[in-house]
Structure 1
């Protein structure tokens, strides 16, 4: 079997990155935010204003990702589809049947990896139409003890339901090549620094599963503490470690990238989910959703640096392409919070985004769902 050397892989990644940068060069910077009841919000990053909303009907969009050339936005619709949107027109150009309740989408190496959960109902929670940021309806209120009951979602499945699966979609043909079994309630998706492995967190099984990219071949599974519910996962900038957030035990665990053995566990505020490193690689950011807090840690030592108050149910976030701002999708606040990336202080809120869920930018930048290409 032919083996690609590290230098050859590095050269390939450099060429890919250059091609992506060239494709994005002429486009104005924007952010895409999925709103579970409204569609996809398009934010002009120059004015930090909601420019328009792309309606997707009753699709209930959640996860999203851009193709490497920026020409297509891929959105997971809770109705069972991967929806491809032409970014130049905002029109839906393709719908690919995936399976029940698709949630996460990650693009890598010419494929889209889409997690879906046959055991879930797939119906998004209700949002009060026209609700202002920070307003909260009765349906949106989190019940006391919900975390202890193991409910990290509005519509989680249970241990007796079918496990989640990962559909691998060829981006040239927009057809599902194969689906692979995962654990229960598959959440975060990350790729190894060399691009050869995909890691996913399974909160219902308290595991991290590892697969071969492209083929989906299962390689190994790491069992974490029972009841910890792993959610977000991100590789460190030097590629030597992975950070996994544990929602129910309010911690994150640092794994050695080669062995997947835990090397450090760090306490967080309640309900950590989204996790990412900042563009400089100096800080690790964790969205502690249940405490309405964005936490900042030193990226080398993992020592706590700061806590930043944010909105309600802020699961996912992304930096702007120039790295000057941080944007958090806050679902229960029906808004995106905009922070100054130099001091993490809130600058503004962008409303009219009911049940905001995921956020990515064009050109790409580091975030809890997507990494900069």
Structure 2
């Protein structure tokens, strides 16, 4: 649990993903409007592929990288030396309703092969258990859209406005029977069944974002950024088990370790990765990581807010 190496990937990287074989790291580089394919062994960028304005989220499945882009978002990092108030950090201007795209890149070809048109300010991406559908959260119009995996055709649109505002994180349960989406501006999450019917709304701490079940599927974890907590729920009834006080700033994304013994949270505004012991649900270590860490994944693939056991 120490930093052992550092290497360049692109300008202002955010979303991050690993190929199933662990050969390539893929990052979404905001200021480049592109992704980088980095050879993990050599640490060299083998290819830079343009994907669209403001790329943010990366998910990889079946040799394809899916990258959410946000052409209407005007959120930007502070200039060197500039400080934002905590309540202003990472806020976006949602006035523009330009439709966003999910760009699809064939990693073997090293090129973008098609786009999926989603809602304005597309954010999270998830796949159904059977791999036939892509599920996307759209912040600015408060929808979750379901698309065909192969064609990208829109299958269903779910409005979350009856339950809250600004959907961000989206996660399928290990058995494929439930989906959970965090609603950042309403301080809650919703539970949907496998057909995307609403089952339950559950209150959380302030500004929930990254979410993931554990590998067994009996617990749900939610990173509540502005409450500085990692919240744990029992999936039998979504009752709260514990609020783990993280005390890091802007802890958005996390991953389990491959052995499921620890959780690692990337805490961007406190420049650290926080390690939580899964057994006693308590912070066991803080690892300094300069540069506003945004996301984190592990290899061999483990479940987390940005990845799934494959």
Q: TM-score, normalised by structure 2?
A: 0.95
Q: How many residues align?
A: 307
SS of the residue 1:210 aligns to? strand
The structure, 1 or 2, with the larger RCO (C-alpha pairs under 8 Å, 6+ apart) is: 1
| Aligned match of 1:364 | 301
SS of the residue 1:164 aligns to? strand
| Aligned match of 2:14 | 62
* Correspondence 1:1-373 to 2 at 5 A: 48-56=1-9, 59-78=11-30, 79-121=32-74, 123-126=76-79, 139-143=83-87, 154=90, 156-225=92-161, 228-258=165-195, 260-310=196-246, 311-373=248-310
The CA deviation at 1:187 is 1.2
The CA deviation at 1:103 is 0.5
Contact kept, 8 Å, 1:165 with 1:179, in 2: the verdict is: yes
Change over 3 Å in CA distance of 1:122–1:270 after alignment to 2? closer
| Aligned match of 1:26 | none
Deviations 1:23-72 (A, max 9, x none): xxxxxxxxxxxxxxxxxxxxxxxxx1011111235x10000111111100
Q: TM-score, normalised by structure 1?
A: 0.79
Please report the RMSD computed on the Cα atoms of aligned residues, expressed in angstroms. Answer: 1.6
SS of the residue 2:274 aligns to? strand
Contact kept, 8 Å, 1:159 with 1:184, in 2: the verdict is: no
Contact kept, 8 Å, 1:64 with 1:359, in 2: the verdict is: yes
Unaligned regions of 5+ residues in structure 2, if any?
Answer: none
| Aligned match of 1:6 | none
SS of the residue 1:359 aligns to? coil
